[in-house]
Amino acid sequence: MSEIRCVFCGRLIDTDKQALFRLPPDYVRRPDAIYRRYLEIRDITGKDHNLPDVCGIGSPEVAMLTSENGRPTLVTRTGRNTDSMICPTCHNQILRNTDSASVSSAVFFGGRDSGKTSLVLTLANECITRQFSIDDRFRYIFNDKVCDPALITGAAEEVRNGGKPADLRDPTAIYRVTGASQGMKTLCDVMYDTSASDIRDMDSIRFTLPFAADSRYFVYCIPADKLAETVITQDERADMDARTDMYTMLEACRYAQTPPVLTIAVTKLDLAEKAGGAGDDIMRCHADERALKNYIFTAFPSVGELAVMFTDVHACAVSAVDPDIGGKETTLAGKLYLGLFG
C-alpha cells in the first residue's frame, strides 16, 4: 500500500484502493461538481470546472492499472494512458513526491493585516532567489502549475514596495531536493495562507481549512508594531484577540494525532524601529528566541498560557519589506524557512 497526500485538501489517499484518474485532456469535458465545490469553499475564481471525466478502478473506460516510473498509470479501453491522478475528495491533481513522509505543511494564521500573505510570499521568494537553502543542503525546485515563480517574485516585489497582496487561496508548494546517501530524495514543503473569512465560525474553519488537522507546523503572525504597542499598554482587547486566534488554531487541529509545532512570527519587523522604546527592545532581542518569546508572552499572556497545548513553541522575527534584515547571507526569512521545514 502506498499513501499519497493531497496538498489541496490534506487528505491521505491509498493509491492501491482509492486512486482516481482524470481522462486525457481531449476527452469530452463536463462540469465537475466536486471540483467546483472545492473552488467555492476556497473562494477561488477564474478556474474552469468543465473538465474531462474522472474514472477509477471499476469504471467502464478503464482497461487496466499499471505503473510507470513508480507512478500509477491508468490505461483506457482505447489504449490511452493517463497518470493524472486526482484526489477523490476535492478532484485536484495529486502532485508527485507527496507521500506522507515527504510532505511537510505549515498553516499561517493571524489577525487582519498581520502579514500572513506577505510572509508566505517572502518565504517562497527567498527560495526562488537563493535556489539553495542557507545551509546548502537542499536545492529548491518549482512546479509552474502549482507555484509559479514569476507570479511569486512579482507579488513579493509588490510587498517590498509597500503593496498589500491578495490572499493566496491555493497552497504554495515548493520542492526540495537533497543528495542523500542513498540517491536523491525529494521533499515537498507546502504553505497555506488563511484569511479572516476562513475563520468566521466553527463550520468555516472545518470547511475551508481541512488541511490544518494534518499540518505539522502552525505559524502565528503578530505584527511588530502591535507587539510593541501592547507590551506597553497591556491592552486587554489585544490579549483577547490573541486568545481567539489561539482558539482558532486549536479548533483547526482538534483531531490531530499530534498537535502541531507553533512558531510565533513577529512580522513587519521594519516597523519596530518606528515604534519607539518598545520597538527598539524588539529590534534588540529579535535574534534571541528566548528573549523574544518572553517579550511576546508579556504582551499577550493568553498566548503563553495556551502555548502548552502545542507540541513545541518557537519564536522568530521577520520583515517582508526588508527581507535582508539579519544579513544577506543568513536572512531572517531563510532562517524561518529552515526552522519550519528543516
Q: Does 258 bind another protein (CB under 8 A)?
A: no
Site map 87..126 versus another protein, x via CB under 8 A: -xxx------------------------------------
Q: Does 144 bind another protein (CB under 8 A)?
A: no
Cα 253 from chain centroid (whole Å): 14
Give 112 or 237: the residue with its C-beta nearer to another protein: 237
Please calculate the CA angle 120-125-126 and round it to the nearest 5 degrees: 100
* Shortest distance (Å) from residue 93 CB to another protein: 16
* Shortest distance (Å) from residue 153 CB to another protein: 33
* Shortest distance (Å) from residue 163 CB to another protein: 32
**Angle between helical axes of 289-299 and 224-233 (0-180°, round to 10):** 60
Give 122 or 194: the residue with its C-beta nearer to another protein: 194
CA atoms within a 13 Å half-sphere pointing along the CA-CB vector of 212 = 25
Q: Does 54 bind another protein (CB under 8 A)?
A: no
Site map 150..189 versus another protein, x via CB under 8 A: ----------------------------------------
Residue from 244, 298, 311, 330 binding another protein (CB under 8 A): 244
Q: If you count them, how many residues does the chain have?
A: 342
How many whole angstroms separate alpha carbon 338 and alpha carbon 342?
5
Three-state SS at 274: helix
Q: Does 248 bind another protein (CB under 8 A)?
A: yes
How many whole angstroms separate alpha carbon 253 and alpha carbon 245?
13
Question: Rg of the chain over CA atoms, in angstroms?
Answer: 21
CA atoms within a 13 Å half-sphere pointing along the CA-CB vector of 340 = 32
| Cell numbers representing residue 312 in the block | 513545541
Read off the DSSP letter of residue 11.
Answer: -
Number of residues counted as binding another protein (CB under 8 A): 33
Q: Does 56 bind another protein (CB under 8 A)?
A: no
How many whole angstroms separate alpha carbon 339 and alpha carbon 194?
20
User: What is the H or E stretch that residue 41 is in?
Assistant: helix 33-41
Residue from 65, 97, 247, 270 binding another protein (CB under 8 A): 247
* Shortest distance (Å) from residue 119 CB to another protein: 24
Residue from 80, 301, 322, 338 binding another protein (CB under 8 A): 301
How many whole angstroms separate alpha carbon 196 and alpha carbon 217?
19
Q: What is the dihedral of CA 230, 231, 235, 238, to 10 degrees?
A: 50
Residue from 71, 160, 185, 206 binding another protein (CB under 8 A): 206
Give 1 or 308: the residue with its C-beta nearer to another protein: 308
Question: What residues make contact with another protein under the rule CB under 8 A?
Answer: 9, 11, 14, 17-18, 37, 41, 88-90, 201-203, 205-207, 210, 236-237, 240, 244, 247-248, 250-251, 254-255, 301-302, 305-306, 308-309
